[in-house]
Structures are given as structure tokens and as C-alpha cells.
Structure 1
Amino acid sequence: MEAVVGILVALFAAALVVGMAVRAARAPRGHRLRAAFGPIMGAGETYQELHTGQRGLQDSVIESIAESEQRPSRTDSCDEGTDLPR
């Protein structure tokens, strides 16, 4: 039984390594590490979200960008010296 579990773990690890190598080979130059490790990092972030109950980094960044796009900046309010909007 222990040998079967060991073989299954080794096959799983080999499948991960082969998948990462294929993703890295197909990715454009300069994005290979991100392409190779992206799914593993995403799985880790999802695990952390489920474990801690908090939003992950990607969700926080997306929400922050959406809020900044909706909120007008101080320079968008009006022209200098007038009360009229641009």
C-alpha cells in the first residue's frame, strides 16, 4: 500500500513538473516564470483565502483599481479660476 501511494505522489509531482515546463516553453520571453508558476501561485492564494477568510491579493488589487476609476481626482473637478467642470 505504501508503495502505491509513493508511486502516485511521484506521478503527480512529475505531472506538475512537466506541465510547468510546457507552460514555460510556450510562454513569450520575459513571462516564462510567471506562466510556469502562475497556476501554483493561484492555488496557493485560493488556499489562503479559504483558510483565513480574507480576500486575496489579486481581488484586493482589482477592487482598488475599480474604486480609483470611479472616484474623480482633484484635477478632474474643474478648470482653474472657474466653477465649471471641464
Structure 2
Amino acid sequence: MSISDKIKGLLALCGKKQLDLAANFGMSKQTMGNKMARNSWSARDLAKVAKFCDCRLAFIMPDGQYIFLEVDDEKVPDE
């Protein structure tokens, strides 16, 4: 399953639409559709999707420790 498919599933679970996500990203529906089709998601994009869906994006270690990636993190690259 691609990242785009997982994002579509997440949007469905949180009751939001791809059009809403496009607006949140400041892009057109067509541009978001192209992004989905290309499956081109940066770490910052994924953090923005998580925030949009009232979720958090994290690395979770086997022992339960975690590190969250946040949209505002300076260390989360654009690409």
C-alpha cells in the first residue's frame, strides 16, 4: 500500500476530503491529485497531514520510546 493510499485512508477515518487537504496545503485539487498520483510526500508534508487530521507522526521504538515529527520542527526538511 502506498503512502498516498494510507493518506486517503486516514482522510476517510477522520472524515475529511482530499479537497480539504489541498486547501490546507494551499494548492488546487488538481495539484493535490498529482501529488497523490506521484506519491511524493516529504517528511514535512506527512507532519502537515497528521496535524490536519488531528494526529501525530512519530517514530516508535520497540521499547515504546517515541520521537514525534511536528510541522514546526526546524529539523523536518521540506524535501
Please indicate the TM-score interval, normalised by the length of the shorter structure.
Answer: under 0.3
Q: Relative contact order (C-alpha < 8 Å, sep 6+): which is higher?
A: 2
TM-score w.r.t. structure 1 length? 0.25
Higher percent of residues as helix: 1
TM-score w.r.t. structure 2 length? 0.27
